[in-house]
Amino acid sequence: MNTRPRVEAAPVKAGLREWSALGVLMLATVLLAIDGTVLYLAVPALTADIAPTATQMLWIGDVYSFALAGLLVTMGNLADRIGRKRLLLIGSIGFGLASALAAFSTTPEMLIAARVLLGVAGATIMPSTLSIARNLFTDPVQRTTAIAAWTAGATGGAALGPLVGGLLLEHYWWGSVFLINVPLMIVVVIAGILLIPESKNPDGGRLDLTSAALSVAAIVSIVFAVKHAVGTGLDWTVPATVALGVGAGWAFLLRQRALTQPLVDVSLFRLPAFSGAVAADTIAIFAFIGVMFFFSQHLQLVMGMTPFQAGLAELPATIATVVVVGIVGYLLTRLGRGRAIAAGLALSALGLVGLAITEGWSTYWGMGISLAVIGLGVGAAMTLSTDAVVSAAPPERAGAAASIAETAYEFGVALGIAVLGTLHTLVYRASLQIPENVSTADRDALHDSLATATYRLPDSPDLLEHAQHAFTSGVQTVSLIAAALLVIAAAVAFKVIPSQGEPTHSRRNGSIRGVVR
């Protein structure tokens, strides 16, 4: 790394332009987060139109997040080198074009490809939004508030997805959930040009393409293994791709230690506040999105709600994540960072247990309370963990640090859908009680998914009732599993993330070292 001493300017209070620029960044963040969950309520309509299989539907749902997670580290470093504003604007234009392609897809394969392009474009936007916010706000108090607002956009956007999707699906075809991105991205581009200043690392050096390829190979290989095990079964390709992914990941880490300008500064992970926050971020969104993916379908396919009604039913989670912005400062002051993150994770676990219990009820109010509890806990944990990750790195490495925080977020989204989705499918199929006199075609439809069965067997209410009970059992099971993971994560956060003092950084012999004030 460059050994020239870095002189940090005294913090300057942000003004109207900086807060207006944050509004533009939040709009981009909300759009990306919405795009990760807006499809949930469109599953029945999409299934009726282009008839994807259960495996294809899982790919449509999470390939967007996998593409994001695979490229975020690379794009965060690229933003540091070529300019964060420049990459943000390029990505926004690409996102708008990919959204139009997704909206008018006519086959599952075409939609999967469009979702991949959306993920690639999104990967150029996400690190830029958070790293620009990190550089816009040099005052620590204002920076924490700005990051809290950014995090609310990410978590609130994910929760808003079903509501936006439901509103659009009440009046338009399923492609409208993508087409809405186009005019909003035009606003981001125009406002971004006018309001956002350019920033980059003056000593960034060249982007290491080998590291970039290794990071993508590690994530994609492991994801393929999970997908193949669900869709096709356990054959020789599963251990082979897992080995490839682990090997690529290990080679990536070794290379980062040897490079003078690494894509990921692995020394940051020696900071308990940093490594613990990354883990907390991943597990929190893993549980939240993994359960919500199937809960959205439960509201429609089991409880008989319209898409818009289902979106409204999930509104308590959205409101709770926004409320967090107003109380996170109090939690941090009162409990300290580690204890506050642990408390948020534990509260989310309690909400998931409540959701598992109340999903079997015929009324909604129990589920609504549980959703609010989940949203409040996840919002608090993610706000504080993201702030810890981004604040641990110096300003010139803001893009790289932001990419780590967002990789944790997106990888949690993708794994939540893949892993909990896999478990849900296994429980659903194991719980099915299909009479022996059912035809092979009807049996295959029931076995594939509840969405497929609802579409193909509208005149068989008894069979659908069996499938609905099995689906509910699956959602309850994954809710309890997610709750258990959050309890473990809360214990780890309580143990390893400091609650006294705040993580910061210093330069010593050209390297980033963590200290505690």
Residue-wise pLDDT for 30-51, tens only, equals: 888 777 667 766 777 888 888 8
What are phi and psi for residue 511, nearest 5 degrees?
A: -115, 160
- CB atoms near residue 319 (< 10 Å): 14
The model's pTM is: 0.75
Domain tally, the chain: 2
Please report which helix (H) or strand (E) contains residue 515, including its range: strand 511-516
The CA distances from residue 72 to 39, 107, 126, 232, 278, in Å, are: 22, 28, 8, 29, 14
Considering the domain architecture, whether residues 334 and 368 belong to the same structural domain is answered as: yes
Residue 170 lies in a domain: yes
Q: 506 falls in which pLDDT band (50, 70, 90)?
A: very low
Spatial contact of 42 and 169, defined as CB atoms under 8 Å apart: yes
Which pairing describes strands 503-508 and 511-516: parallel, antiparallel, or unpaired? Answer: antiparallel
Please report which helix (H) or strand (E) contains residue 452, including its range: helix 450-456
Q: How far is CA 252 from the centre of its chain?
A: 23
Dist CA 277 CA 235 (whole Å) = 36
Would the pLDDT of 402 be above 50?
yes
Considering the domain architecture, whether residues 131 and 193 belong to the same structural domain is answered as: yes
Burial of 9 (0-12, 13-18, 19+ CB in 10 A): exposed
Structure tokens that stand for 437 in this block: 């006199």
CATH number, domain of 468, equals 1.20.1250.20
Helix axes 108-136, 16-37, angle to 10 degrees: 160
What is the pLDDT, as a whole number, of residue 486? 93
Low-confidence winner among 103-112, 172-181, 200-209, 457-466 (lowest mean pLDDT): 200-209
What is the pLDDT, as a whole number, of residue 97? 94
Considering the domain architecture, whether residues 280 and 256 belong to the same structural domain is answered as: no
Considering the domain architecture, whether residues 447 and 362 belong to the same structural domain is answered as: yes
Considering the domain architecture, whether residues 337 and 370 belong to the same structural domain is answered as: yes
Would the pLDDT of 98 be above 60?
yes
Selected residue with higher pLDDT from 470 and 262? 470
Structure tokens that stand for 93 in this block: 């234009």
Structure tokens that stand for 459 in this block: 């005149």
Q: 3-class DSSP state for residue 313?
A: helix
Considering the domain architecture, whether residues 201 and 218 belong to the same structural domain is answered as: no
Residue 82 lies in a domain: yes
Q: 7 falls in which pLDDT band (50, 70, 90)?
A: very low
Q: Residue 218 is part of which domain span? A: 208-262
What is the pLDDT, as a whole number, of residue 161? 74
Considering the domain architecture, whether residues 160 and 220 belong to the same structural domain is answered as: no
Selected residue with higher pLDDT from 341 and 35? 341
Q: 73 falls in which pLDDT band (50, 70, 90)?
A: confident
Q: 4 falls in which pLDDT band (50, 70, 90)?
A: very low
What is the pLDDT, as a whole number, of residue 10? 58
What is the pLDDT, as a whole number, of residue 514? 39
Considering the domain architecture, whether residues 241 and 192 belong to the same structural domain is answered as: no
> Highest-confidence range of 70-79, 144-153, 229-238, by mean pLDDT?
70-79
> Highest-confidence range of 162-166, 427-431, 480-484, 496-500, by mean pLDDT?
480-484
Residue 429 lies in a domain: yes
What is the pLDDT, as a whole number, of residue 500? 67
What is the pLDDT, as a whole number, of residue 417? 73
* 273-324 pLDDT tens trace: 788 888 888 888 888 877 877 887 888 888 888 777 887 888 888 788 778 8
Dist CA 358 CA 204 (whole Å) = 52
Q: How many residues does the chain have?
A: 517
Percent of the chain clearing pLDDT 90 (strictly above) = 19
What are phi and psi for residue 191, nearest 5 degrees?
A: -65, -35
Residue 3 lies in a domain: no
Domain final residue, candidates 227, 262, 297: 262
Dist CA 483 CA 346 (whole Å) = 8
What is the pLDDT, as a whole number, of residue 94? 93
Q: Indicate if the alpha-carbon torsion angle 479, 484, 485, 490 is positive or negative.
A: positive
Spatial contact of 328 and 339, defined as CB atoms under 8 Å apart: no
Region 323-338 average pLDDT: 82
Considering the domain architecture, whether residues 136 and 173 belong to the same structural domain is answered as: yes
Domain final residue, candidates 219, 245, 262: 262
Who's near 401: CB < 8 A, 6+ residues apart?
A: 76, 131, 134, 268, 389, 390, 392, 393
What is the pLDDT, as a whole number, of residue 99? 93
Structure tokens that stand for 31 in this block: 């759009």
Residue 515 lies in a domain: no
Phi-psi region of 233 (alpha: psi -120 to 50; beta: other; left: phi over 0): left
Domain final residue, candidates 243, 262, 281: 262
Considering the domain architecture, whether residues 233 and 120 belong to the same structural domain is answered as: no
The CA distances from residue 379 to 90, 443, 487, in Å, are: 29, 41, 16
What is the pLDDT, as a whole number, of residue 515? 35
Residue 6 lies in a domain: no
Considering the domain architecture, whether residues 196 and 237 belong to the same structural domain is answered as: no
Considering the domain architecture, whether residues 96 and 173 belong to the same structural domain is answered as: yes
Structure tokens that stand for 311 in this block: 């979106």
Would the pLDDT of 517 be above 60?
no
What is the pLDDT, as a whole number, of residue 11? 64
Residue 10 lies in a domain: no
Residue 11 lies in a domain: no
